[in-house]
Amino acid sequence: MTASLIARNLALDKYSEEISEFENLMNAKVYTVASESALLQYIPIATTKIVEYDDYIVTSELYSHTIRCLNKLETKHLEILKGKLHGSPLENSEKRIKKLNAMFLYCISDLGVWLAAKAAEILQSNKESCVSFWGEELDEKLEGFVRNYVRDVYSDLSEIILKMTKRGVQRHIGEDFAEDLQDGLLTSKVYFLIKSLMGYRHMQDLRCIVFVERVITSIVLEALLSTINQMSGWSVRYMASGRNCGLQHQSRNKHVEIVDSFRSGKVHLIIATQILEEGLDVPSCNLIIRFDQAATVRSFIQSRGRARMQHSDYVLLVRRHVFQFCRGDVNALSKTQKFLKSGQIMREESQRLESTCCQPLLNTLCNEEFYGVESTGAIVTLNSSIQLINFFCSKLPSDEYFKPLPRFKIDKALGTCTLHLPMSSPVQTIYAEGKVSIIKKVVCLKACRELHAVGALTDYLLPESSVPCEDEPDIVVDKYKNGQPDYFPEQLVDNWSSFSRRGFYYCYMVSLEGCSKTTPAEIVLAVKCDMGSDFISNSFKLWGVQDYLSFTMRYVGIIHLNQEQVIAARRFQTTILSLLISNDLSEVSNYIKNLLEMPASPGAVYLLLPVVSGKIDWRSIKFSASEMPEATNMDMRHCYPCKDTGIVQTKDGTFCSCMLRNSIVCTPHNGMFYAVCGFLDLNANSLLHRSDGSFLSYKTYFKERYNLDLRCEDQALLEARKLVEVRNFLHKCNYKKEKERSGKSVVELPPELCIVVMSPMSAITLRSFTFIPSIMYRIQCMLLSMNLKMQLGPSMQQFDIPALKILEALTTKNCQEEFSQESLETLGDSFLKYITTQHFFVKYKHQHEGMLTKMKKNVISNAALCQLACSNNLVGYIRSEAFNPKTWIVPGVGYDICDRSLRKLKSKRIADSVEALIGAYLSTAGEQAAYIFLKSLGMDIEFHKMPIERVITIKAEEFINVKSLELLLDYSFNDPSLLMEALTHGSYQIAGTTPCYQRLEFLGDAVLDHIFTDYFYHQYPECTPELLTDLRSASVNNSCYAHAAVKAGLHKHVLHSSSALHKRMADYLDKFEQSFSGPSHGWEAGISLPKVLGDVVESIAGAIYIDAKHDKGVVWRSMKRILEPLVTPDTLQNDPVKELQEFCDSKGYTLEYTVTRDNGVSSVVAEVRTEGTTYKATRTGFSKLDAKKLAASSVLRDLKAADTKQYSANGISCT
């Protein structure tokens, strides 16, 4: 709708040929409407208005005088340069001054003297340098020459402006436009722009874009329009692309910020170069002005299309005499008239070509040299080679102090060109000969060929992205998105039909110990096979009881059982466990009925046999598991060989009193189960003491409460207790308060209201079976951990790692047990980064840090680790949720293991488990075990296998003080060039020196991270996972390293050629010369050191690691000297960002951060909304993280003060 089929300037009669070529290229036909009026039915089209302006009317004498002044200044400063500089620095400085002079002359002729002076003022105040660092005389000296020239231009133009005004005093621009025009302060073109804009003052919610050709025009017009009083209600911004020498560079983020403000109405007017001609969709944009004529028809049409609102205008500023001349000469159409007609001509030509077919593409490369890749068809031509080299350099590592650029050295006399690429490029110097007119293209094409040969350009002739992808979303890998299994140990899987006929069973004694109020209980676990020896030496804690309790297991041998015994035992365990878990009589009855079947489907199959005095309690098993026949009034049931003749009437018949002692009964009137302890010296007529102090008989109570009549008034009441609740005894918490709230534990029950469910059932057996779900779940998890060890294969079985350590690695924090994977995950994460970093550093010797980081990211990302875990069937072993006894598989209920539903796990949780397994093997069996574990998963990495070979060609002593640095580090380098490389910043582009430190920084970062994590893990073995993470975060960060570098004086040894970096360090040292101690590492002071200094510490660690042949101990001893004092649990300070988040979570407050960045300074607003009050703080800093900490600290302080005040007002101590 707003695009152009014609991309370049052509005669109107050539449009048909161009459209046909475009159709052939796309192998498609263009379809359009007959006229522009047809488009109006679907989209708004701006109305074109032509505004004619006169020629510049400043007197020729004044104009000539101004030009002479500028030319005189240019000559003067060029002569100064020739006396001070020579060679390449002189050539570059001359080019800059000549370029600046041409720019000032343009401003005078096209914009006016005031805007030319404004350009000089802006350039003078701009501190950004555009000089590339290539071993020339740099910094203040070179920049000073240029700045002196600009300063003199501004001074002379300011004097001329004073002379131009009639009163000899400088007045405010725009106060009198007629005088401004007559005095030459503004040109007619600028005046008519202002006049056109003033014509839209009545318009509410104006959105206007003014298109200009040059960057300097956009900058000075922004300054002018923001100054004029008549436009004070409009917010004006400029937008320009590219890095013009001496002009402020706008980042992409800045562009996005301006466009967003334009959309929201915060910005009303944008002065823009062609950067905004396409891609911007603002439905409310209602005015477009072309200050400079469009260069092409495409530019004309696309800029017009930015006006998206109904009744919008497209204003063209056209010089009056040119327009009149063209209007009178049909054969010499002006560019403006041609552009106005171009849209209709394109439509007509497209319709004329509708019936023609697309033709095969012609080979346009016959007469042009190019380089191509046969496998992909990608080519780079002579004409596109320079752009590709510039694009390649833009993808090399950079920072705020250095932007990598190519440098050309041309010898016109010899017809040669030498291309110097930045030090981080694998190919750095390329030489070529040829015609001077195309020599830069020739050398760039040759460079493209060489870069592709070494892999720096892909087969698509594009540089690999050097910027790693952002933190990935927490996803489930597509291949496994339907869910993951939840494994069950095969040792406990069988079918009851075959299990009951097996005849012999492996027995393990489960002993409960530690409770002082009861006798230790034992239960025999009978399974189909030997479960191994990993259980024997372990004691497992059970939580949630008043006293300390634990259970142990030991193998007691093989037992022989017949089928009847297995059936009875199955019935017993199913009944008691179903009662304890469900507390539902109908559900238990259904379970018991199903026990008559012996299913052939696989399920959880094993026996749990109660033990009394060291022997299996078959009496309880057989009597409790026997089915109670229908009773009559004449029935009298009792246990053998009981001689008790006391008969008790129950709801389901008469029983011997011995059958009610130590039994489980159910009371249908309230649906409750009780454990009967014995008989009380009470009956139905006894008095019941109520909580309000009143008394009534039990008979009356049951009548009033349940409408039940007690007929056996003389029958003794039963002493009973509610069944103990089955819960997750692996959950590390305290249940004492729940017990206190549970009220009266002993109840009195009339026997005639009770149904006997199980008898006999001792209190010890009943209590011990309460823990069985938690015990068996722990055993199942231990068995799975043992199975995982076997699954990993013989290569891993050589390492003796306890199954309990594997289980710890597989247990997530959500399980809420006494151990979790977090500490092991932290340790494994650091080792994984360390080993992959070392691998890629050694394998890819010519790749820069950005590419190495990307390759490492691809290997250790959550998605990659998740893929490894899924491919190796590890996910089913992960324990991701707290144990729920209600969903535990009761052995004997006929539950089919094969029918278990799949579960979904997020990729991060799976990846964390893989890292925790790495940490488990590392902490137990060492680095080799962790490495072999990774290899067994299929990770293609090598560890300390490939030597790093370096040819020493540089005398480092000529550049750095090697002896002093070795004394500081307490380490003597075998290869001092490594130390020099570790201290070389990217801006130090001196021929014959080492590469910059970024590759060593990549290596040293991982080495230090792993060393610190390993140190804290073993130094404080009892610390919580949270504390371990905090210790690591407080020690392994760039701010900590940077301040340690300054404290040790390393900043004095950094090799760089950046005046901005030097100034940043100098500013810090001037303001903060006090000691660099304290765990905050300077963030509280509100200023942060350059990241470069932290990078240097990491790169030095990398250099020592290589020089010491991968000995981490040597690195630790050396770097510890610099980084001491190390943080400890006692000196660790809370991170204010984390503490504020936790505080808000506990109170239910809403916390938000707003981050903006302007001129290299980050501003962070922390805002907390409470009930009726908002707490807000704004802080700034060079580092976004430091500013965030400062803002969070301020808000947290205010919140705590308000909290303390609230407590005090309520009379509560808040100590």
Active site residues: 1005, 1098
d(CA 750, CA 387): 97
Torsion, CA 1189, CA 1190, CA 1191, CA 1194, rounded to 10: 120
Dist CA 861 CA 572 (whole Å): 50
- In what helix (H) or strand (E) does residue 81 lie, and over which residues does it extend? helix 60-84
Contact 1008, 1109 (CB under 8 A): no
Write the secondary structure of 256-318 as one string of H (helix), E (strand) and C (coil).
HHHHHHHHHCCCCEEEECHHHCCCCCCCCCCEEEECCCCCCHHHHHHHHCCCCCCCCEEEEEE
Helix (H) or strand (E) holding 1164: strand 1161-1169
| Amino acid found at 203 | M
C-alpha–C-alpha distance, residues 278 and 640, integer Å: 97
Q: Hey, CA dihedral for 89, 94, 99, 105, is it positive or negative?
A: positive
In this structure, how many other beta carbons lie within 10 angstroms of the beta carbon of residue 390?
A: 12
Provide the CA 25 distance to its chain's centre, in angstroms.
42
Neighbours of 11 (CB within 10 A): 8
Residue indicated by tokens 């890629």: 840
- Residue in the structure block whose two tokens are 């707490």: 1175
Sequence-distant (6+) residues with CB within 8 A of 954 are 977, 980, 992, 993, 994
Q: Which amino acid is at 142?
A: L
Say how far apart CA 855 and CA 533 lie, in whole Å.
Answer: 42
* 426 cis-preceded (ω within 30 degrees of 0): no
Determine the Cα–Cα distance for residues 1206 and 1173; give it in Å rounded to an integer: 13
Q: What are the tokens at 22? A: 């475009």
Please choose, from the candidates 2, 1, 30, the residue with its C-alpha nearest in 3D space to the C-alpha of residue 18.
30
Q: What is each CA distance from 923 to 782, 810, 860, 1093, 1114, in whole angstroms?
A: 19, 15, 20, 32, 20
Give the distance from CA 274 to its chain's centroid.
35
User: What letter does residue 172 receive in the DSSP assignment?
Assistant: P
Per-position DSSP letters for 409-422, written without gaps between them: EEETTTTEEEEE--
Q: Are 672 and 722 in contact (CB under 8 A)?
A: yes
- Could you tell me the sign of the dihedral formed by the alpha carbons of 983, 984, 990, 991, in that order? positive
| Helix segments in 673-798, DSSP class H | 698-706, 736-741, 763-770, 772-791, 794-797
DSSP 469: P
User: Which three-class secondary structure string do you get for 495-564?
Assistant: CHHHHHCCCEEEEEEEEEECCCCCCCEEEEEEECCCCCCCCCCCEEEECCCCCCEEEEEEEEEEEECCHH
The H or E element containing residue 1181 is strand 1174-1181
Rounded CA-CA distance 1074/1090 in Å is: 18
Question: 537: how many CB neighbours lie within 10 A of its CB?
Answer: 11
Tell me how far apart the alpha carbons of residues 1188 and 1164 are, in angstroms, rounded to a whole number.
6
Distance in Å from the first CA to the final CA of the chain: 70
Q: What are the structure tokens assigned to 133, written together?
A: 């660092």
Phi, psi of 1092 (to 5 degrees): -55, -40
The DSSP H or E segment spanning 664 is: strand 663-667
Q: What radius of gyration, in Å, describes the C-alpha atoms of the chain?
A: 42
How far is residue 1201's CA from residue 1196's CA, in Å, rounded to a whole number? 9
